[in-house]
């Protein structure tokens, strides 16, 4: 997995000297689907770089309710993790493995010096912030201005894009939890989408047409 991490870091333009540092002080973490990579109990001492698989970022309120924000794919890091780590505060979201995943966990105590010393790392952090900011704006627009049917269809399309598959292997209950709504609402809206020939439903999976 170190070789894979090396390839990914090279592909995003990180300097060779910094790659050597990241590989020497980081650690591999493998997580099965549905398990947390970073949760609300985390101390904020590491940030994840996705090597294989897919992670989803969930915002959690004090009552324990959650809403889906965005996905993290291969080669991506979590800007929210970086922010929490640099502020030395506990995270206010959860990072969950959408499928079996491998991540390279990078200690955050070096972030300040890396940002100052390595232009490539500073650029990567800024690009991560901009990408996630744009995605969060889209999510906020969806929550505030869109009806639940639009939010649900956007969620399905986001999942398709992130996984590279037209088959969404999720139950109605799982989707409802991600969107912070009821299973009954999700089932009703999916049935309507099926009548409109946007999707086909099968047992515990949905196919986007």
At the topology level of CATH, where does 2-143 sit? Jelly Rolls (2.60.120)
Second-level CATH architecture of 147-208: Orthogonal Bundle (1.10)
Domain boundaries, the chain: 2-143, 147-208
pLDDT tens, position by position, 172-197: 888 888 887 878 888 888 888 888 88
pLDDT tens, position by position, 123-165: 888 887 787 777 777 766 666 555 788 888 888 888 888 888 8
Higher pLDDT, 119 or 140: 119
- The pTM of this model reads 0.65
Q: Rg (Cα) of the chain, in Å, rounded?
A: 18
Query: d(Cα 194, Cα 188) in Å, to the nearest integer?
Result: 10
Q: Give the chain's length.
A: 209
């Amino acid at each position: 997995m170190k070789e894979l991490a090396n390839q990914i870091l090279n592909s995003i333009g990180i300097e060779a000297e910094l790659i050597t540092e990241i590989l020497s002080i980081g650690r591999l973490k493998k997580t099965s689907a549905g398990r947390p990579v970073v949760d609300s109990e985390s101390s904020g001492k590491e940030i994840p770089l996705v090597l294989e698989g897919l992670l989803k970022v969930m915002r959690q309120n004090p009552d324990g309710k959650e809403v889906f924000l965005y996905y993290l794919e291969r080669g991506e890091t979590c800007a929210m993790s970086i922010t929490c780590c640099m502020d030395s505060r506990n995270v206010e979201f959860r990072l969950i493995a959408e499928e079996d995943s491998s991540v390279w966990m990078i200690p955050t105590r070096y972030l300040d010096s890396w940002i100052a010393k390595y232009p490539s790392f500073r650029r990567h952090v800024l690009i991560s912030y901009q990408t996630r900011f744009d995605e969060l704006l889209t999510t906020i627009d969806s929550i505030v201005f869109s009806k639940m049917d639009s939010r649900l269809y956007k969620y399905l399309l986001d999942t398709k894009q992130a996984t590279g598959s037209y088959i969404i292997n999720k139950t109605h209950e799982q989707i409802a939890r991600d969107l912070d709504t009821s299973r009954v609402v999700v089932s009703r809206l999916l049935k309507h989408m099926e009548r409109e020939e946007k999707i086909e439903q099968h047992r515990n999976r949905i196919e986007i047409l």
